[in-house]
Amino acid sequence: MIVADGLTKRYGDVTAVDRLDLRVDGGTIYGFLGPNGAGKTTTIGMLTTLVEPTAGGATVAGHATTDRDAVKPHIGYLPDEPPVYDAFSAREQLEYVATIRGLEEGWAAERAERLLERVGLGDSADRRIDTYSQGMRQKVGLVQAILHDPAVLFLDEPTNGLDPRAARDVVDLIAQLTDDGTTVFLSTHILPVVEELADTVGVLHQGSLVAEGSPAELTRRVTDADESTLEQVFLTVTDDDSRLATKTPGERLTPGEGE
């Protein structure tokens, strides 16, 4: 569903993303890991057509990202700051988004209602969003991103600033979405979330993918220890002094079989 081919973004002299190749199959969750400033948000920007690549290209849901009009009906995007109007109530916000997304009114209202209940916002849906906590805002943003039932969902730090219970709600919802066939591109640096959800994990470091594979494969192959965790993997491959990291960029550490 997502294919990136040599995706590169340079801002002046700074290379934010460097020749990134990616492949995400339909109905799977791709966990996109990386330290702060690794280029995760820039990558999502390019995949969602919002940022123009300096070089390379990508297709999302079968359409080149250069063709924004073709891509946009198929994707949902939740940036790290939930895009909501503070002056609206959650219900008004969702009605607005349904309208500008061109959704059928009755269908959208019914779906919004169901999703609000699902994330536990049913009782607060008529309060103005500027009275919401960070977690509630994040949930409204998530519901809004999946309101039109997109084929591909991009989530940038969806559990940022959430308490454990709210984070659990969000994680469960994401898991349920993939059961319905949605492809999820999940960018985060919160490792347990990835460990639980992701089918494939890619670790981005200084604009390059330095490791990729299923969580189990990564923990098995990257570190020699038997009982290592994803955290150790992360620390190893994003360590500038590590012998593994210095082999890259260009050559990727891919522990998968025959890929």
Burial label for 113, CB within 10 Å (0-12, 13-18, 19+), is middle
Q: Rounded to the nearest whole angstrom, what is the least distance from the CB of residue 258 to other proteins in the complex?
A: 37
Q: Rounded to the nearest whole angstrom, what is the least distance from the CB of residue 25 to other proteins in the complex?
A: 23
d(CA 248, CA 242): 11
d(CA 94, CA 154): 18
- Contact, 138 vs 160, CB < 8 A? yes
Residue 136 lies near other proteins (rule: CB under 8 A): no
Q: Rounded to the nearest whole angstrom, what is the least distance from the CB of residue 87 to other proteins in the complex?
A: 4
Q: Which member of 118, 127, 220, 221 binds other proteins (CB under 8 A)? A: 127
Q: Which member of 128, 189, 220, 221 binds other proteins (CB under 8 A)? A: 128
Residue 135 lies near other proteins (rule: CB under 8 A): no
Q: Rounded to the nearest whole angstrom, what is the least distance from the CB of residue 252 to other proteins in the complex?
A: 28
Residues of this chain, 68-107, that bind other proteins according to CB under 8 A: 68, 72-73, 75, 77, 79, 81-89, 91-92, 95-97, 99-102, 105
Residue whose token pair is 């300096």: 54
Which are the contacts of 30, defined by CB distance < 8 A and separation ≥ 6?
2, 22, 24, 183, 184, 185, 186, 198, 199, 200, 201, 202
- Contact, 244 vs 13, CB < 8 A? no
CB-wise, 70 or 190, nearer to other proteins?
70
d(CA 10, CA 12): 6
What distance separates the 2 farthest-apart alpha carbons in the chain?
57
Q: Rounded to the nearest whole angstrom, what is the least distance from the CB of residue 140 to other proteins in the complex?
A: 12
Q: Rounded to the nearest whole angstrom, what is the least distance from the CB of residue 249 to other proteins in the complex?
A: 24
The HSE-up count of residue 198 (CA atoms within 13 Å, CB side) is 29
Q: What is the CA radius of gyration of the chain?
A: 19
Query: Which of 211, 253, 185, 210 minimizes the C-alpha distance to 30?
Result: 185
Q: Which member of 16, 18, 32, 48 binds other proteins (CB under 8 A)? A: 48
Choose the binding region for other proteins from 15-23, 45-53, 165-173, 223-231 (rule: CB under 8 A).
45-53
Residue 61 lies near other proteins (rule: CB under 8 A): no
Residue 32 lies near other proteins (rule: CB under 8 A): no
Residue 14 lies near other proteins (rule: CB under 8 A): no
Residues forming the site for other proteins (CB under 8 A) = 45, 48-52, 68, 72-73, 75, 77, 79, 81-89, 91-92, 95-97, 99-102, 105, 125-128, 130-131, 144
